[in-house]
Amino acid sequence: MAVFTLLEKKDLEQILLHYTLGVLEDFEGIPSGIENTNYFVRVGTPQGSTKLVLTLFERLSASELPFYLALMRHLAQRGVPCPAPFLTRTGGLFCSFKGKPAALVQCLPGKDLARPGVTHSAMVGAALAHAHRAGVDFDMQQPNLRGLAWWRQVVPAILPYLSADRAMLLQSELDAQEAFARSPAYAALPVGPIHADLFRDNVLFDNDVQSGAVVLGGFIDFYFAGTDTWLFDLAVVMNDWTVDEPSPGSGADTPPVIPDSREPARFDLARAKALLSAYADSHPFSDAERTAWPWMLRAAAYRFWVSRLYDWHLPRPAQMLTPKDPSYFERILRARIQQHDSGLQLP
């Protein structure tokens, strides 16, 4: 989330006219993320105040948006903890503001964790499997817009900015992923709607009011979702949730570096095993998935290295936007290639 379009009180009031949610009380820009303009919005009714999240879509068109919002509504109706969109006065999933789509969704309880533990990792694994199963009967499809087709499109634009070593890695891994995508093992993988961006900052945890126990508040920010393999979704989670440190951001005026002293690519085995076991309790892994697993770990690292390189070298202006260090996922990718035949296996 980020703020590309600055909104004033009158702008929020105009957007709220499309809904029957109440009267604007307060609003605040949300600074994290890199794709859309986001605000916390508080509205009041005679029954009390409600906190919502407004997203103004900077890249997604009105024709692309129904997939994401309908998926969130579909999953929420099946018990997956995610923010359900509010319907407009005319029954739509979104409205329009100054030519851009805009949507209001539930603001889920809790906060994200920079350093989750074993219990948190297991909860995410179980909830991810639930989300995958719940999406089986979702009747809309849309490609993963940051998948293989996008890599083919943007890698040529990135290559001129890179050193010879990095350019060689970027191109060779693209060639390897294209070859694996044509394999029988890849063709046998379960496919459906996936989140595709389930990093630590896109999962909220809260405490149960009565017991005080930690509960999963929900998955947020579905706007990279698409139809892809379940295993790719799981690999994205593994590469972020179970490594020794969270993926860092860095300022736009700070050049990316590769620190020799840190090795963020190592899995925390306790968290990794907890996550995989919890997922497997609902979806036992097939032989095809075991074969594909090292490739998916590489693909998940590659996807975010490519997108961070793109945002770093070809940035868009935005208020409160901080590009993230691309070298982090370069290191992850190099480690996953090195560990291809000896890394963490599926249960």
**Which domains are assigned to the chain?**
9-106 (3.30.200.20), 128-338 (3.90.1200.10)
Taking alpha carbons only, the member of 124, 81, 106 closest to residue 233 is 124
Q: Which pLDDT value is given to residue 148?
A: 98
Q: Is residue 252's pLDDT more than 60?
A: no
As a whole number of angstroms, the distance between CA 91 and CA 126 comes to 33
As a whole number of angstroms, the distance between CA 255 and CA 60 comes to 29
Q: Is residue 172's pLDDT more than 50?
A: yes
Q: Is residue 146's pLDDT more than 70?
A: yes
Radius of gyration of the chain measured on its C-alpha atoms: 20
| Average pLDDT score over the chain | 91
Q: Which pLDDT value is given to residue 254?
A: 38
User: Across the chain, where does the E strand assignment appear?
Assistant: 23-29, 37-45, 48-56, 95-97, 100-106, 191-194, 203-207, 214-219, 226-229
Q: Is residue 10's pLDDT more than 80?
A: yes
Q: Is residue 321's pLDDT more than 80?
A: no
As a whole number of angstroms, the distance between CA 84 and CA 203 comes to 15
For 116, which DSSP code? -
Question: Tens of pLDDT along 195-233?
Answer: 999 999 999 999 887 787 899 999 999 999 999 999 999
pTM reported for the whole predicted model = 0.90
Adjacency order of strands within the sheet including 48-56: 23-29, 37-45, 48-56, 100-106, 95-97
Q: Which pLDDT value is given to residue 284?
A: 97
For 200, which DSSP code? G
Question: Tens of pLDDT along 98-133?
Answer: 899 999 999 999 999 989 999 999 999 999 999 999
Is residue 336 within 8 Å of 304, Cβ to Cβ?
no
Q: Is residue 258's pLDDT more than 90?
A: no
| Amino acid letter for position 173 | E
The tokens of 263 are what? 């090795």
Taking alpha carbons only, the member of 256, 263, 262, 261 closest to residue 324 is 256
Q: What's the maximum distance between 2 C-alpha atoms anywhere in the chain? A: 64
β-strand pairing of 95-97 with 226-229: unpaired
Q: Which pLDDT value is given to residue 260?
A: 39
As a whole number of angstroms, the distance between CA 86 and CA 20 comes to 9
Q: Is 219 helix (H, G, I), strand (E, B) or coil?
A: strand
Q: Is 39 helix (H, G, I), strand (E, B) or coil?
A: strand
The tokens of 62 are what? 């009105």
Is residue 49 within 8 Å of 42, Cβ to Cβ?
yes
Read off the pLDDT band of 343 (50, 70, 90).
Answer: confident
Q: Is residue 253's pLDDT more than 60?
A: no
Is residue 212 within 8 Å of 173, Cβ to Cβ?
no
Q: Which pLDDT value is given to residue 250?
A: 34
